[in-house]
Structure 1
Amino acid sequence: MPDRAATEAIAWSTLPDAELVALAQRGQRGAFRELMQRCNQRLFRVARAVVRDDAEAEDVVQEAYTHAFAALSTFRGESSLSTWLTRIVLNEANGRLRRRRPSVDIATFEATPQEDSRVVSFPNRFGNEDPAAAAARAQIRGLIEHAIDDLPDAFRIVFIMREVEGCSVDETATTLGVRPETVKTRLHRARRLLRGTLQDSLAATLGEAFPFLGPRCARMTEAVLARLAAATEATTGDRL
């Protein structure tokens, strides 16, 4: 017979987001754990698109989850849970970015002709090598990630959400608070910049960019749950 933990894990995984949210709002940590595991990859990728650092992106997501859990009672389902969480992650990530350096006026960049722009100049080192080879894929993925990192901030987040995470134009626009036409324009500019850097043959590896490995997912989830448990214990202690 499966142990109790395995049975509970299977039960959580069969529930839709709406039921999990309702259970999490009633204090069921297992439901919140399942929601985190479903959203971790997108939120990590979005956070990393802003801060451009793996470790800080993890910290951003953990902090955002803590805020989200505290405000879960305010979630009304007017947008999807992932969209709601993504906004919280973006607020946290952009807040850190503003504290770290002054922002760049994206309108100025968008108004500048960029027909021959390149993000970075990469030599054609791979020639006709088979992209299915593991070593080659790792090198290619590194080039892609580096090129994406060097996109202007507003273009990079749109590119990550649309091309890497597969979000729709409307969802991306709603999440970022911009018009759908702006999303389309920025994605077009991002693609054009990347084409100036990367060969078209690399496009098939985009889905592998910024891989979200199991250990990272588990580490982030457990860290958030530990923080919530500590906060609950502190609150309980204050009442005694």
Structure 2
Amino acid sequence: MNFTNHQITDLLSLCQQGEQGAQMEVYNRYYKAMYNTSLRIVKHEAEAEDIMQESFLSAFTKLDSYKGEASFGSWLKRIVVNNSLNAYNKSKRLDETSIDDHLYKIEDDAAGVAEMDLSSVRAQEVVNAMSELKDNYRQSLSLHLIEGYDYEEMSEIMNVSYANCRTMVSRAKDSLRRILNKNEKGTYRSSI
């Protein structure tokens, strides 16, 4: 059976019935965006892959808890973000450090990063500058600017107050501006 023309609600109904072809179609529609979401948080390709796959398994087993109040993609992304933050915090507690922490790359995800007027070189400069930020600043900017979460959602995800969340994003933007200005010796003025 060809599932490519099915609406996501039809596919989810089939997934709840255990239809593996429907599960594969849902996976194919969302896996790249979910992988990139996880990679931006954990900064390790293999770990992001594992988290993404575990998140899909979790989503498929808990489909009955999906109420349709948000899009399925948003619901799934929330699972991926929570799993990624948990994994990142766990590895941080274990004080694991990897060379990959300094060399990760971010690809545009299927959900899409907002179109930017910056050239791809400038976009890579911003990504590189974000990697220089403190972890909580990098995570808060990724959640806010790239993933599109609002302050209320972020404060819940990061387990901080709404005011602290806004302050953290503001300080993260300031730090990012300073890094970009330092790297460009004052010739690049960020619009962040």
Q: TM-score range by the shorter chain?
A: 0.5 to 0.7
Structure 1 residue aligned with 2:135, among 142, 147, 153?
153
Pair 1:63-2:54 in alignment? yes
Structure 1 residue aligned with 2:125, among 129, 132, 143?
143
- CA positional deviation for 1:189: 1.4
Which runs of 5 or more structure 1 residues have no equivalent in the other structure? 105-130, 205-240
Partner of 2:112: none
Alignment of 1:14-25 (within 5 A): 15=7, 17-25=8-16
Deviations 1:154-188 (A, max 9, x none): 32222112212333344444544544434322221
Structure 2 residue aligned with 1:32, among 17, 20, 23?
23
The change in CA–CA distance for 1:161 and 1:30 in structure 2 (over 3 A counts) is: farther
TM-score (norm: length of structure 1): 0.54
Deviations 1:120-150 (A, max 9, x none): xxxxxxxxxxx64xxxx34x44432222223
Deviates more, 1:190-199 or 1:147-156: 147-156
User: What code does the residue aligned with 2:177 have?
Assistant: R
TM-score (norm: length of structure 2): 0.65
2:180 aligned counterpart, secondary structure: coil
Partner of 1:107: none
Relative contact order, higher structure (CA 8 A, sep 6+): 1
- CA positional deviation for 1:60: 1.6
Partner of 1:89: 80
Partner of 1:207: none
The change in CA–CA distance for 1:38 and 1:162 in structure 2 (over 3 A counts) is: farther
Alignment of 1:109-148 (within 5 A): 132=119, 137-138=120-121, 140-148=122-130
Structure 1 residue aligned with 2:38, among 20, 44, 47?
47
Contact 1:46 1:157 in 2 (8 A): no
Percentage identity across aligned positions?
A: 26
The change in CA–CA distance for 1:167 and 1:203 in structure 2 (over 3 A counts) is: same
Measure the CA separation in 2 of the matches of 1:158 and 1:183: 8
Measure the CA separation in 2 of the matches of 1:32 and 1:103: 34
Measure the CA separation in 2 of the matches of 1:95 and 1:169: 19
Deviations 1:33-88 (A, max 9, x none): 44334443542333123211233212221122122222223323354433432333
Partner of 1:184: 166
Structure 2 residue aligned with 1:165, among 147, 167, 170?
147
1:196 aligned counterpart, secondary structure: helix
The change in CA–CA distance for 1:175 and 1:28 in structure 2 (over 3 A counts) is: farther
1:197 aligned counterpart, secondary structure: helix
Deviations 1:82-120 (A, max 9, x none): 34323332343234334433289xxxxxxxxxxxxxxxx
- CA positional deviation for 1:197: 0.9
Measure the CA separation in 1 of the matches of 2:173 and 2:94: 22
Measure the CA separation in 2 of the matches of 1:170 and 1:21: 28
- CA positional deviation for 1:195: 0.1
User: What code does the residue aligned with 2:64 have?
Assistant: S
User: What code does the residue aligned with 1:29 have?
Assistant: Q
Measure the CA separation in 1 of the matches of 2:178 and 2:156: 29
Corresponding residue pairs, total: 164
The change in CA–CA distance for 1:72 and 1:169 in structure 2 (over 3 A counts) is: same
Measure the CA separation in 2 of the matches of 1:24 and 1:174: 29
Q: Which has the larger radius of gyration?
A: 1
